[in-house]
Amino acid sequence: QVQLVESGGGLVQAGGSLRLSCAASGTIFGINVMAWFRQAPGKQRELVAGITNGGNTNYADSVKGRFTISRDNAKNMVYLQMNSLKPEDTAVYYCNKASGLRWSWGQGTQVTVSS
């Protein structure tokens, strides 16, 4: 069972930036689409961004143009560059397979954006 460890969250003012990292304990090379998700208090977990092995990306409408997902298969890492952050981006962020039988969720990393 691959373990996922997310990091890089924190408290930032609106308009600021953060870069999240996700370290997988096993290979992600065979995983077609890796993704970042987020869960705000009282809300369901939602998909924020996904990236294929070939580097194709997709984003939730709410983050298009502000967030950039990337992956490094050699290092088993997935990243999320977040710019122009808004208070509504406040949530716990997780990474995992985009679909199918997912690995166990990591502890996530808290992102708090103040207005």
Q: Report the C-alpha gap between 13 and 73 in whole angstroms.
A: 32
Residue with tokens 């199918």: 100
Closest CA to 47 of 56, 32, 59, 37: 37
Looking at residue 1, its pLDDT comes to 86
Residue with tokens 């992956």: 71
**pLDDT digits over 21-52, tens only?**
999 999 998 889 999 999 999 999 999 999 99
Contacts 24+ apart (CB under 8 A), 18-21: 18/82, 18/85, 18/111, 19/79, 19/80, 19/81, 19/82, 20/79, 20/80, 20/82, 20/93, 20/95, 20/109, 20/111, 21/77, 21/78, 21/79
Beta carbons of 98 and 47 less than 8 angstroms apart:
yes
Looking at residue 44, its pLDDT comes to 97
Looking at residue 30, its pLDDT comes to 85
Looking at residue 106, its pLDDT comes to 96
In percent, the amount of the chain with pLDDT more than 90 equals: 95
Mean of pLDDT over the chain: 96
Look at residue 10 and tell me whether its pLDDT is greater than 90: yes
Q: What's the average model confidence in pLDDT over 54-60?
A: 96
Looking at residue 113, its pLDDT comes to 98
Look at residue 95 and tell me whether its pLDDT is greater than 90: yes
